[in-house]
Structure formats: structure tokens, C-alpha cells
Structure 1
Amino acid sequence: MADEVDVLLQMYQEQHNQARQLETQRATLTNLIILIASAALGFTAQRGLEMIMLVVSLPLVGLGVYGVLACLKFHERSVLHHRAARLFSRSIEERLTSLRINDGWAQLHTQQRRRFPRTFRVRLYHLWIALHVGVAVSGAALSAVICIRG
């Protein structure tokens, strides 16, 4: 039985490692997008709102949309890995019932919800998506202003 638990524990850890890697990739991508967007906005501020600056402002829209899609995909994969880890955790608890691992997690979850009732409901990936939407909207707004000023 110890060998089974060792295998399940290793599989559990692998799922969490995969989820952690996805979060690192999401953070890296977001940092890169914010860096590019900041440089584009700074460059546009220096050069002024000339028509040629559409070459800078329009790609911001695509960059923001790409960021949104990537964050959605990272979230989907992360949910998959966390659910797989939960399955392995349940299997471990079935073999070692005295541990009551999942009861502990449930209690912690309930305490967290009570302590932070408003922010608990906010999903972190929604915040990341909002950031990327902001990049897309800033590119679209900047492009619109450039076209209007023509």
C-alpha cells in the first residue's frame, strides 16, 4: 500500500508542478505584453498622434486580445491540473483514511471564504483578463483618436 501511496503522491505533486509552470508562463507572457504595450504607448506619446502611429496602436489591440485568449487557455489547463491533483488526493485519502486531508482543505476553504467574503468570489484569472482587455482597449481608443484627428 505504501508503494501505491508513493505513486499517487508523485502524481499529485506532478499535477501541482504543471499548474505552477502554467502560472509562471502566464506571468511571463503578461509581463512581456505589458512591457510592449508600455513601450508602444510611450513611443506614441513621443511621436504624437500622427496617422503613421496606427502601425503602433493597432497591434496593441491584437496583443491585448492574444493576452486574453492565452489567459483563458492557461486557466483551462490550470483547472485541469488542479482537478487531477484533487483526484489523486482523494485516492491517497481512501488508502490512508486517518489523514482526513480533504476535510482539512474543506475547512480551510470555508474559513477563507468567511474571512474574505468579497474578494473570495473574485477569480484571479478575471483580473488578468481585465488587464489584457485594457491593453486591447487602449490600442483601440488610441487608434480611434488617431483616425479622428487624421
Structure 2
Amino acid sequence: MADDVDVLLQMYREQHDQARQLEGQRATLSNLIIAVASAALGFTAQHGLEMIMLVVTLPLVGLGSYGVLACLKYHERSVLHHRAARLFSRHIEERMPSLLINDNWAELHTQQRLRFPKTFKVRLYALWITLHFGVAASGAVLSIMILAKAP
């Protein structure tokens, strides 16, 4: 029985490690996109809304859109790994019911929801998607402003 639990525990850890790695990749990608977007917006502010600046503003739309899609994919994969980890924790609890893993998790979840009722409902991936959408929207708005200003 202990061997079964050791295997399940290793599989549980692996799923959490994979989810953690995905979060690190998402953070790196988001930081890169924000750095490039900041530089592009600063460059556009220095040079004004001239037609040549479409070379800077239009790629922002693609960059922000890519960020949105990547964050959605990172979230999907993260959910998969967290669900797999929960599955392994249920199997561990079946073999060692005195641990009350799932009962403790449910209690902690309830306490967190009660302590942070407003922010608990906000999904972190939605915040990241909104940030990347803002990059795409800023590129689109600036591009439209440049085109509207053109003779």
C-alpha cells in the first residue's frame, strides 16, 4: 500500500510541477510582451501619430492577440494538470482516508471564498487576458487614429 501511495504522490507532485512550469512560462511571455509593448508605445509617443508609425502600432495588435491566445492555452493546460493532481490526491485519500485531504481542501476553499468574497470570483487568467487584450486594443486604436489622420 505504501508503494501505491508513493507512486501516486510522485504523480501528484509531477502535475503540480507541470502547472508551476506553465505559470513561469506565462509570466515570462507576458513580461516580454509588456516590455515590447511599452517600448512601442513610448516610441510612438516620441514620433507622433505619423503614417510610418503603423509599422509599430499594427504589430501591437498581433502581439496582444498572441498573448491572449497563449494565456488561454496556458490556462487550459494548467486546469488539466490541477485536475490530474486532484485525481491523484483522491486516490491517495482512498488508500489513507485518515488524512482527510479532500475535506481539508474543501474547508480551506470555503474559508478563502468567505474571506475574499469579491476577489475570489475574479479568475487570474482573465486578468492576464485583459492585459494582453489591452496591448492589442492600444495597437488597434493607435492604428485607427493614424489612418484617420492621414490625408
Query: Structure 2 CA distance, aligned partners of 1:108 and 1:43?
Result: 47
Query: Structure 2 CA distance, aligned partners of 1:44 and 1:114?
Result: 45
Give the gaps of 5 or more residues in structure 1.
none
Does residue 87 (structure 1) correspond to residue 59 (structure 2)? The answer is no
* Correspondences of 1:32-71 after superposition (within 5 Å): 32-71=32-71
Q: Cα distance, 1:27 vs. partner?
A: 0.3
Name the TM-score, length of structure 1 as normaliser: 0.99
| Structure 1 runs (4+) greater than 2 angstroms displaced | none
Aligned to 1:6: 6
- 1:12-37, CA deviations, whole angstroms, 9 ceiling, x for partnerless residues? 00000000000000000000000000
Query: Structure 2 CA distance, aligned partners of 1:69 and 1:146?
Result: 26
SS of residue matched to 1:122: coil
Aligned amino acid, residue 123 of structure 1: R
Aligned amino acid, residue 29 of structure 1: L
* Correspondences of 1:128-139 after superposition (within 5 Å): 128-139=128-139
Name the TM-score, length of structure 2 as normaliser: 0.98
Q: Cα distance, 1:48 vs. partner?
A: 1.3
Query: Structure 2 CA distance, aligned partners of 1:31 and 1:112?
Result: 28
Aligned to 2:115: 115
- 1:92-132, CA deviations, whole angstroms, 9 ceiling, x for partnerless residues? 00000100011000000000001111110110000000000
Query: Structure 2 CA distance, aligned partners of 1:145 and 1:69?
Result: 25
Query: Structure 1 CA distance, aligned partners of 2:14 and 2:59?
Result: 37
Query: Structure 2 CA distance, aligned partners of 1:38 and 1:115?
Result: 35
RMSD of aligned alpha carbons = 0.5
- 1:50-69, CA deviations, whole angstroms, 9 ceiling, x for partnerless residues? 10100000000000100000
Aligned amino acid, residue 26 of structure 2: R
Give the gaps of 5 or more residues in structure 2.
none
Q: Cα distance, 1:47 vs. partner?
A: 1.2
- The alignment-based identity, stated in percent, is 79
Instruction: Say how many residue pairs are matched.
Output: 150
Aligned amino acid, residue 40 of structure 1: A
